[in-house]
Amino acid sequence: MRRVVITGQGTVNPLGLDVAATLDAMSRGVCAIGPLDIVDVERLLIQIGAQVQGFDPAEHFSKNKLSLYDRFTQFALVAAREAMAQSGLEIDDALGDLSGVILGSAGGGLQTQEDNYRAVFEQGKNRVHPFVVPRLMHSSAASHLSMEFGLRGPCYSVSTACASSNHAMGQAFHLIRGGGASVVLTGGSESMLSFGGIKAWEGLRVMSKDGCRPFCATRNGMVQGEGAAVFVFEEFEHARARGADILAEVAGFAMNSDAGDIVMPNREGAARAMCGALRDGSLNPEDIGYINAHGTGTTANDKVETAAIVDVFGSKADKLMVSATKSMHGHLIGGTGAVELLACIAALRDGMIAPTVGYRAPDPACDLDIVPNTARQQKVTATLSNAFAFGGLNAVLALRSI
């Protein structure tokens, strides 16, 4: 069977405007959550989030191009440029036909939707910008990546709420493994930090007003973030033949559905997804040194995820490092799994185990080694990245060092 490796990575997220800045912030346990700076924030009950800071679209795009790019597309393009540059790939016509894009996003062009709803409903305008539709399409970012780099194979977007990125990357893995492409740009992007984006989550009553503290006894909900991460997934022999620097191997992937509840997580479904990823990657539980948890900071998720990890790893769960980097970059919703994969790759490449920050007090229902507050240096050779979305959609990726 064809093997799949990662040969490039790029990101724009609240912790940094590229991979180096992001990993530096993770290694220092930086928390990027703070007061939201958005229109009408005073009408929100939840006034904190993790916003991308210092991102100037004009530095990256011409004015003409910008009229076509929602913020989620801007994040994806900048992340993809970094990933492609690192990969060293040169896409000619022949390789272009064998290369594709699969990106996750839960909300797509939400900033565009909100701005234009305001224009027609609030300001009573009867005219909107001609490019509203091409900006707001969920597939818009994927299409712009294909155009930017000449990737003429399969190109589509995946939307499965908080598991969107993991599903996208799992599909990219399957596509290359199955022979449908040699190279896939994959990951996810989200820009939901707008009045409407927060207001909708506020209604569900699961958001924290004071911070994201996954696995902590004092946790009281999730905090939203924004941003993107994009990776170059490449068929192993193709990467090896051109002498590429291989960051990690995508060893396995599993996805399933709880078929149970539209918001509550399910221990059995989560465990089944982790087991499936191990099996798919021919990995044993003891091979895994680090898990990037879904770890949202809600009462329900962290308790259920802990129980599922114990189900899968048994007594070995004690030796396992499990961290929730959402405590630092917030919950990027459809983009979150992609940013979290950066932490898995850093664990494999550099032995840098990103911490769970904001941790104050142990919760007996979450008694894992969650790498509290301070990053750790420890060599690991295989990792899992969990995503357990609303609607019971579970997607787990297994990476291995190579």
Partner 1 sequence: MSVHQKIVEILAEQAVLEPNEVPLTATLEDLGIDSMNLVEIIFAIEESFDIQIPFNANEPEAAGFDISSVTSIVTAVEGLLAAREA
Nearer to partner 1, 167 or 294 (CB): 294
Binding mask 75-94 for partner 1 (x = CB under 8 A): --------------------
Q: How far is the CB of 203 from partner 1 (least distance, A)?
A: 7
Single out the residue of 203, 260, 314, 362 in contact with partner 1 (rule: CB under 8 A): 203
Nearer to partner 1, 177 or 303 (CB): 303
205 binds partner 1 (CB under 8 A): yes
In angstroms, the CA 242 to CA 88 distance is 9
HEC string for 315-356:
HHHHHCEEECCHHHHCECHHHHHHHHHHHHHHHHHHCEECCE
Catalytic residue status for 144: no
Single out the residue of 264, 350, 365, 379 in contact with partner 1 (rule: CB under 8 A): 264
Site for partner 1 in 35-54 (CB under 8 A): 45
Q: How far is CA 224 from the centre of its chain?
A: 12
Count of alpha carbons within 13 Å of 103, Cβ hemisphere only?
31
The active-site residue out of 155, 162, 216, 344 is 162
Number of chain residues interacting with partner 1 (CB under 8 A): 17
120 binds partner 1 (CB under 8 A): no
Class of residue 364 by CB neighbours under 10 A (exposed 0-12, middle 13-18, buried 19+): exposed
In angstroms, the CA 259 to CA 349 distance is 37
298 binds partner 1 (CB under 8 A): yes
Q: How far is the CB of 297 from partner 1 (least distance, A)?
A: 8
Distant-in-sequence, close-in-space partners of 121: CB < 8 Å, separation ≥ 6 = none
In angstroms, the CA 366 to CA 179 distance is 41
Best CA proximity match to 251, nearest among 70, 398, 370, 114: 398
In angstroms, the CA 25 to CA 46 distance is 25
306 binds partner 1 (CB under 8 A): no
Nearer to partner 1, 179 or 203 (CB): 203
The active-site residue out of 138, 294, 329, 366 is 294
Q: How far is the CB of 26 from partner 1 (least distance, A)?
A: 25
Catalytic residue status for 366: no
Nearer to partner 1, 115 or 302 (CB): 302
Report how far apart, in Å, the C-alpha atoms of 304 and of each of 183, 224, 267, 300, 357 are: 36, 20, 5, 6, 20
Q: How far is the CB of 38 from partner 1 (least distance, A)?
A: 20
Residue with tokens 């104050």: 360
Single out the residue of 128, 147, 206, 402 in contact with partner 1 (rule: CB under 8 A): 206
Catalytic residue status for 294: yes
Single out the residue of 263, 318, 365, 379 in contact with partner 1 (rule: CB under 8 A): 263
Greatest Cα-to-Cα distance within the chain, rounded to the nearest angstrom: 63
Nearer to partner 1, 170 or 221 (CB): 221
Q: How far is the CB of 21 from partner 1 (least distance, A)?
A: 31
Write down the number of H helices and E strands in the chain: 15, 14
204 binds partner 1 (CB under 8 A): yes
Nearer to partner 1, 98 or 207 (CB): 207
Nearer to partner 1, 162 or 341 (CB): 162
Single out the residue of 86, 105, 111, 208 in contact with partner 1 (rule: CB under 8 A): 208
In angstroms, the CA 385 to CA 292 distance is 5
Binding mask 214-243 for partner 1 (x = CB under 8 A): -----xxx----------------------
Q: Are 18 and 10 in contact (CB under 8 A)?
A: yes
Pairing of the two strands 4-12 and 227-235: antiparallel
In angstroms, the CA 250 to CA 238 distance is 15
Q: Are 56 and 71 in contact (CB under 8 A)?
A: no
Question: Where does this chain touch partner 1 (CB under 8 A) — which range of 102-110, 164-172, 205-213, 359-367?
Answer: 205-213
Report residue 11 as tokens.
């990101």
Nearer to partner 1, 70 or 258 (CB): 258
Q: How far is the CB of 31 from partner 1 (least distance, A)?
A: 19
299 binds partner 1 (CB under 8 A): yes
Please report, as ranges, the residues that interact with partner 1 according to CB under 8 A.
45, 203-209, 219-221, 262-264, 298-300
Residues with catalytic annotation?
162, 294, 331
